[in-house]
Amino acid sequence: MGETTAKVHEIVKYPDPVLMKRGAPITVFDAKLKQLVEEMFESMYAAQGIGLAAPQIGLSQRLTVIDCSFRKDPEQKVVLINPEIVERKGKQLEEEGCLSLPEIREKVSRAAWVKVKAQDVKGEWFEIEGTELLARAMQHEIDHLDGVLFIDRMSRLKRDLLVRKIKKMQKNGEW
């Protein structure tokens, strides 16, 4: 009975409509939610990511998991439920990728430091601060919960070129 293997979910790809929708707040903090969080970490690791939002596995809910250490340091595993950015400072321009937009990497401007207020799996509110990669990951994942993708943060010209490229790949069955 002690064997609990977390199910690995398939990652939803752009332009799935679930990715463009604001996630619903989570109100029930139970064993099912804990299980979902475990499955999200497993799905994220399986897809070689450092962050995963519920909409990316087809669930329109305000839940995201992040691990900037990619499994190396359990202390760095972050679970954000119903998160909101309460403060941001500075600027960083770094390359980002997204599991829902495989193979696409582009520079995106984000705050260099953020403070996020969120709930944990028990429903307790807490605050977490992040700089550099963690700050970027939190902003990227919270964007997902608002139906915003990192390509929406690019210049219109760059985004249009990418969307055209994706459409061509879809037509050729490569997406």
Distances in Å between the alpha carbon of 50 and those of 34, 41, 46, 69, 172?
19, 9, 10, 8, 29
96 in catalytic set:
no
Q: Which residues are part of a known binding site for Fe cation?
A: 98, 140, 144
Distance in angstroms (rounded) separating the CA atoms of residues 149 and 138: 13
Question: Tokens 């996020």 identify what position?
Answer: 116
Q: Which amino acid is at 121?
A: V
Distance in angstroms (rounded) separating the CA atoms of residues 131 and 138: 10
Distance in angstroms (rounded) separating the CA atoms of residues 154 and 57: 24
Residues 113/12/36/141 CA torsion (nearest 10 deg): 10
Q: Point out the catalytic residue in the list 39, 96, 106, 141.
A: 141
Q: Which residues are part of a known binding site?
A: 98, 140, 144
Which residues belong to the active site? 141
